Amino acid sequence: MSSDISYTTEEIAKMLKISKLTVYDLIKKGELPSYRVGKQMRVDAADLEAYKQRAKGTRTASIPVQAADNLPLSAAPAMNGVRPLVVTGQDISLDILVKYMEKGIPGVRPLRAYVGSLDSLIAMYRGESDIVSTHLLDGDTGEYNIPYIRKLLVGSSYMVVNLLSRQAGLYVQKGNPLGLGGWADLGRPGLRLMNREKGSGARVLLDEQLRLHSIRPQQIEGYEEEQTNHLGVAGKVASGEADVGVGIEKAAAIVGQVDFIPLIQERYDLVMLKKPENRAWIGALLDILRSEEFRKELQTIAGYDLSRTGEVLFET
């Protein structure tokens, strides 16, 4: 689906063979609808294709504009009465959710941004995202998400709703030749790790477990080596380039040739700001999450616990 794909200004400049300044000018003039997540401007694939169709047979001039840092740091405004909603996160369940939103919530256009949990919450604090997915473990309390949300969204009125729960743990090589069995084993000398990027839920989970087990990151070979998704980590372990990685069960099943050791049931929640202009679509979103049709589609994916899907866990 086109709403599942978005491009940075650099990628668009390369595809259209124009300068970044021209891309920024097109965005500024409203010819390319855009939104921001973190420091990046992004354009939905459907909007890029629509621009290309309009521009056929014409020539776009390059007009110098101000630096990108001076562009508004906000989600794109509504166009033709349709409001874009930025949905952040990397799990496939979000792609399914976006499909239902497109069908079931009139007047909105969901835009996917593949951003880690912590960066997603920061983007929401900055006003750059509308629906944030997060799976962040607080090692001191054993609680997921809410301790981080409380700290990052201070002064905001928000709602936390469960999307699903899933198993997280260790990827190990087929047959587990090193006999790894738990978090404490990560302190073994010579063990080669493949890590996730800073801000991801898996990275936070690893760092919290290392802290709780008094393991210094500096003593782990490969701690600085990063992949940007679960499949990448599982793939590096499967290929023998790493001995161990942290991630979710589903990725191990997809990659194959890698074993998975479940160690924790993580809660994957959605966060939404309770602004007056958001009330209508939040209500519609809750209806989707609680619908039998949506649940049945998620049930086809192994490894999901949907017992609390659609439950409001916390709100201010």
Distance CA 113, CA 108 (A): 16
CA distances from 144 to 52, 117, 136, 214 (A): 44, 11, 5, 21
Buried/exposed code over 100-121 (b: 16+ C-beta within 10 A; e: otherwise): bbeeebeebbbbbbbbbbbbbb
Among candidate residues 229, 211, 230, 231, the one with its CA nearest the CA of residue 220: 211
Q: Quick count: other Cβ atoms within 10 Å of Cβ 212? A: 14
- 236: helix, strand or coil: helix
Query: What's the whole-model pTM score?
Result: 0.76
Contact 109, 85 (CB under 8 A): yes
| In the predicted structure, residue 130 carries a pLDDT above the cut 60 | yes
Per-residue pLDDT for 156 more than 90? yes
> 3-class SS at 232?
helix
Share of the chain above pLDDT 90, in %: 68
Q: What are the residues whose beta carbons fall under 8 Å from the beta carbon of 209, sequence distance 6 or more?
A: 139, 183, 186
Judged against a pLDDT cut of 60, whether residue 3 lies above it is answered with: no
CA 243/CA 221 separation, integer angstroms = 10
Q: Which of 84, 137, 89 is nearest to 107 (CA)?
A: 84
Whether the pLDDT of residue 2 is over 60: the answer is no
Least confident of 12-16, 51-55, 120-124, 128-132: 51-55
Q: How far apart are CA 285 and CA 171, in angstroms?
A: 34
% of the chain at pLDDT higher than 70:
88
What is the residue-wise DSSP string for 112-168?
A: EE---HHHHHHHHHTT--SEEEE--EETTTTEESHHHHHHHTTT--EEEEEEEEEEE
**Of 132, 127, 119, 9, whose CA–CA distance to 74 is shortest?**
127
The total of other beta-carbon atoms located within 10 Å of residue 143's CB is: 13
Query: Can you tell me the mean pLDDT for 235-248?
Result: 97
pLDDT greater than 90 at residue 133: yes
Q: SS3 for 281? A: helix
Q: Are 233 and 194 contacting, i.e. CB atoms less than 8 angstroms apart?
A: yes
pLDDT digits (tens, 9 = 90+) for 80-102: 678 899 999 989 999 999 999 99
C-alpha 121/C-alpha 51 separation (Å) is 31
**Distance from CA of residue 271 to its chain's centroid?**
12
Strand 258-273, strand 158-173: pairing? antiparallel
| Mean pLDDT score of the chain | 88
Q: pLDDT by residue (tens digit) across 32-76?
A: 888 877 667 788 888 888 888 877 654 433 323 222 333 233 344
Name 260's bridge partners: 171
- Under DSSP, the state recorded for 32 is S
Residue 161 to residue 105: CA distance in whole angstroms: 18
According to DSSP, the residues that pair with 273 across neighbouring strands are: 158
How many helices (H) and strands (E) would you count in the chain? 11, 15
Q: Kindly tell me if the per-residue pLDDT of 210 is higher than 90.
A: yes
